[in-house]
Amino acid sequence: MSSLLVTGGAGFIGSNFVRLALAETDSSITVLDSLTYAGFEASLVGLDPARFKLVRGSVCDHELVNELVAAHDAVVHFAAESHNDNSLNDPSPFIQTNLVGTYELLEAVRRHEKRYHHISTDEVYGDLELDDPDRFTEATPYNPSSPYSATKAGSDLLVRAWVRSFGVQATISNCSNNYGPFQHVEKFIPRQITNLVDGIRPKLYGAGLNVRDWIHVDDHNSAVLRILEAGRIGETYLIGADGELDNKRVIEMILELMGQPTDAYDHVNDRAGHDLRYAIDSTKLRDELGWLPRYRNFDSGLAATIAWYRENEAWWRPMKQATEAKYAKVGQ
Ligand code: NAD
Ligand code: DAU
């Protein structure tokens, strides 16, 4: 594909995707991003202007979406309101961006007969018990818990309906928790790293037994590139790297890597409706498309991420105070 429209490309995963796609393909890329509190031009500096352009605008803007989709070969749709805690405080932007925005893109790719890849999350499947031997597969029934995950589930179902009813050329991927550079400091791992830089004790929700299945952002994005290249139209692929860890253990690892005692953290209010465990079985992606994660060692990926936040304070400092003020209001 010679030209890609990447929505949400100024966010965490999208900006890392743009860098990977420019390095590993010949495509030119236009990012469509409304630069919300979670989108930053600073995440896209230094890219070749001959192959990269940023358009500031919303995926809910009918005219703009129509014009941009018509001008590109394919769309990769990352744009979303992405944070569960925010969706508990105010679900309304989640309904707009995640549902209405996806609808606008689907109608545009339908009109102009373009290839579409939909980025989604393992949270659409709800959660698992800690001792459940099963993991999520493409056949697991949808059972979302939060306003965020419900809107992501709804957007996936819109894609499936547009494939079946209108023959839209779409694929979907559902990935587990990403970590790596350029992630907003509202999220678990960067919040704790930047807290420690500021001399604040890390904050663990509830007892911290909740399990997340961590994957490096570059592994998520290499899988997306592979699906764009060889994925079967109409199919869903789960993306995961066998990275299950409970939150308590992750905080202890961060403390250890940052030279602090491993019990130097605080328990704070739990998240309402907090999903207990996510775990991905990515056999279909691996067997069908031959994809494998490159970052197999969470310890060294986490150490590199800590180093990145230490070296890039200018990137995260402007968002830190407002983020912590928001958490303080709800006792987190
Ligand atoms: P993020 O919050 O860091 O970035 C979202 C980006 O979307 C921002 O740049 C924001 O400005 C942009 N955006 C928001 N509303 C918009 C609108 N109306 N129009 C245009 N742009 C808009 O999120 P992220 O963590 O990079 O997540 C990206 C995608 O990946 C989301 O669809 C999310 O559901 C999915 N996902 C995330 C994870 C994870 O661990 N972070 C895991 C699986 C799937
Ligand atoms: O599973 C994929 C999902 O992963 C994505 O769809 C979401 O966009 C992404 O935000 C992420 O959702 P989580 O809610 O799992 O991520 P978060 O970083 O908010 O929290 C990870 C875990 O850490 C979760 O169990 C809540 C807990 N937590 C979070 C924060 C911010 C804490 O214990 N302390 C904290 O300070």
User: What is the token pair recorded at 82?
Assistant: 């992405």
The pLDDT of residue 1 is: 75
> Which regions in the chain score pLDDT beneath 70?
none
The pLDDT of residue 233 is: 98
CATH architecture of the domain 3-178+215-239 equals 3-Layer(aba) Sandwich (3.40)
Residues in the ligand 1 pocket, defined by CB under 6 Å: 7-8, 10-14, 32-36, 38-39, 58-60, 78-82, 97, 101, 119, 121, 152, 175, 177-178, 184
The pLDDT of residue 44 is: 98
Q: Return the residue whose CA atom lies nearest to atom 34 of ligand 2.
A: 204
Q: pLDDT tens digit string along 243-265?
A: 999 999 999 999 999 999 999 99
Alpha carbon of 203 to ligand 2 centroid (Å):
12
321, 292, 301: which is closest to 16 by C-alpha?
Answer: 301
Q: pLDDT tens digit string along 114-124?
A: 999 999 999 99
Q: Quote the pTM value.
A: 0.99
21, 24, 26, 32: which is closest to 2 by C-alpha?
Answer: 26
Active-site residue (options: 103, 116, 125, 148)? 148
What is 241-284 written as a DSSP string? Answer: -S-EEEHHHHHHHHHHHTTS-TT--EEEPPPTT---B--B--HH
The pLDDT of residue 264 is: 98
Residue 322 phi, psi dihedral angles, 5° rounding? -65, -35
Domain definitions of the chain by residue range: 3-178+215-239
